[in-house]
Amino acid sequence: MSDDWWYRRDDERVVWRGRPRLSAALPETVVGGAVVALAVAGAATVDPRLVAGAVLGVGIAAWAALRVRRTRYLLTDRALWARRGVLGLTVRRVGLEKVQNTAYTQSITGSAFGYGTVAIEVAGGPDLAFRRVSDPREVQTAVAERGGETDDAVPGSIEQWRSVLRLVREIRSAVE
Closest C-alpha to 91, from 78, 80, 81: 81
- What confidence score (pLDDT) does residue 153 get? 59
Confidence of residue 138 (pLDDT cuts 50, 70, 90): very high
* Strands, E assignment, the chain: 14-18, 72-76, 79-84, 90-95, 99-105, 115-122, 128-134
Alpha-carbon distances, residue 169 vs 157, 165, 172 (angstroms) = 19, 6, 5
What pLDDT, on the 0 to 100 scale, is given for residue 154?
Answer: 65
Going from N- to C-terminal start, the domains of the chain cover 14-146
Report the pLDDT averaged over residues 116-142.
Answer: 92
108 Cβ partners below 8 Å, 6+ apart? Answer: none
Pairing of strands 128-134, 115-122: antiparallel
| pLDDT digit string, tens, across residues 154-170 | 667 788 889 999 999 99
Return the number of other C-beta atoms located less than 10 Å from residue 158's C-beta: 8
For all residues of the chain together, what is the average pLDDT? 89
Q: What is d(CA 132, CA 119) in angstroms, rounded to the nearest whole number?
A: 11
Report percent pLDDT > 90 for the chain. Answer: 65
Tens of pLDDT, residue by residue over 120-129, are 999 888 899 9
Q: Assign domain 14-146 to a CATH class.
A: mainly beta
Instruction: Look at residues 116, 139, 30, 162 and name the one whose alpha carbon lies nearest to residue 170.
Output: 162
pLDDT-derived band at 105 (thresholds 50, 70, 90) equals very high
User: Has residue 150 got a pLDDT over 60?
Assistant: no
- The dihedral over CA atoms of 129, 131, 134, 137, expressed in degrees to the nearest 10, equals 40
Nearest partner of 7 among 110, 93, 126, judged by Cα: 93
What digits encode the pLDDT tens for the residues 84-96? 999 999 999 999 9
**pLDDT confidence of residue 120:** 94
Which pLDDT does position 157 carry in this prediction?
Answer: 79
Q: Contact, 80 vs 74, CB < 8 A?
A: yes
| pLDDT tens for each residue of 30-89 | 999 999 999 999 999 998 888 888 999 999 999 999 999 999 999 999 999 999 999 999
